[in-house]
Amino acid sequence: MKIGFIGLGNMGRPMAENLAKAGYDVTGFDTQPVETQGVSVATTVTEAVRGQDVVITMLPNGAILQSVAAEVLPELEAGSVFLDCSTVDVASARLVAESAEEHSVLPLDAPVSGGVGGASAGTLTFMVGGSETAFQKAQPLFDVMGQKAVLCGSSGSGQAAKICNNMILGATMIATCEAFALADKLGLDRQSMFDVVSTSSGYSWSMNAYCPASGIGPQSPADNDYKPGFSADLMLKDLTLSQEAAELVDADTPMGARAKELYEQFVNKEDGRGQDFSAMLPRFEKRGRSRTD
Ligand code: NAD
């Protein structure tokens, strides 16, 4: 199977390298210069994708995805697969899928969970929208780049699953951080807080697997000065996508909306940019009830 890979950034480069390591013939393209191991880097998109069996994209947003898809799809043979792994808005994912179908290309939207660590280790989780036929064709690639791929339904369902998951994650991380800050002020030590909550009904992935307090629970970005990990900027991106989607379908998502506001403030008005999304804990530590900004 010959693969074209567009977008060799923090996520795309290690994903493409893992495919090359597994023996696939991978040709990549990025608008920025990039050094890779085992992936041939083309000088144009066309050169990277013409005649490939599968083209994978790992791009920043829906507008870029749409413009790349417009260049790529006319170059592909009928029956080839266009596999987008970026996190983008549901509307862009559906538009790109329609356009792929017009070119007799099989579309899949397959955003990932697992971050740069998961991309490097080949342990990503893929949430996939598209047909069973396309999913079967891409399955061997999911097996190399990840540990799990779930076919969630028709085109756009992968993006829908991703933003719903991350809306829960953003809200539970904030809840976990504000609870730690309250526990501090009530004189409860953090280890006791962790021991109770991680085995009680307040448990969650944010507390149990990614504890925002340093020195407690499993290793997490809190133990590395809140270096990401999963950045607050990317959490803001995903929460924004969740609210755009909610707007589109008239869904009432007050917790998601508030989580988006808080990450927006943290990233754009405070010192959150470039920090892990769990750095909400030191943010809450510094605050009292009187501040409403
Ligand atoms: P990144 O900015 O490091 O990589 C994106 C790459 O796309 C860059 O190298 C950029 O030069 C390239 N690019 C932009 N426009 C292009 C074009 N027209 N043609 C070819 N290449 C182009 O971002 P990333 O962290 O690798 O994230 C990629 C996607 O994965 C995003 O949608 C992000 O939301 C999602 N994601 C990221 C993480 C993470 O932890 N980084 C986790 C889950 C999902």
| Ligand 1 pocket test, candidate residues 58, 96, 233, 237, most atoms within 8 A of CB | 58
Ligand 1 geometric centre to CA of 8 (Å):
7
- CB of residue 68 inside a 6 A radius of ligand 1: yes
Determine what percent of the chain is predicted with pLDDT higher than 70: 99
Q: Going by CA atoms, what residue is nearest to atom 16 of ligand 1?
A: 31
Report whether residue 31 contacts ligand 1, using a CB cutoff of 6 Å. Answer: yes
What are the residue numbers of the active site? 162
Q: What is the largest CA-CA distance in the chain?
A: 65
Cα separation of 24 and 1, whole Å?
Answer: 6
115 CB within 6 A, ligand 1: yes
Sequential DSSP letters for 30-85: -SS----SS-EEPSSHHHHHTT-SEEEE--S-HHHHHHHHHHHGGGSPTT-EEEE-
> What are the structure tokens assigned to 197, written together?
């909550």
Nearest Cα neighbor of 71 from 31, 129, 108 is: 31
pLDDT of residue 292: 59
The pLDDT confidence band at residue 290, using thresholds 50, 70 and 90, is confident
Amino acid, res. 25: D
Q: State the average pLDDT over residues 170-199.
A: 98
pLDDT at 104: 98
DSSP-assigned beta bridge partners for residue 66: none
Q: Is 7 in the pocket of ligand 1 (CB under 6 A)?
A: yes
Mean pLDDT, the chain, integer: 97
Please identify, by atom number, the ligand 1 atom nearest to the C-alpha of residue 238: 34
Ligand 1 centroid to Cα of residue 120, in Å, is: 14
Whether the predicted pLDDT of 293 surpasses 70: no
Q: Rounded mean pLDDT of 57-81?
A: 98
* Residue from 30, 84, 126, 240 whose mutation best tests the ligand 1 pocket (most atoms within 8 A of CB): 30
Q: Is the pLDDT of residue 267 over 80?
A: yes
Whole-number pLDDT of residue 291: 65
Beta carbons of 258 and 218 less than 8 angstroms apart: no
Residue among 281, 270, 266, 205 at smallest CA distance from 236: 266
pLDDT tens-digit profile of 226-238?
999 899 999 999 9
Read off the pLDDT of each residue in 27-44 and give the average, rounded to a whole number: 97
- Please give the single-letter amino acid code of residue 173: M
Does the CB atom of residue 213 touch ligand 1 within 6 A?
no
Q: CB under 8 Å to 288, separation ≥6 — which residues? A: none
pLDDT at 142: 98
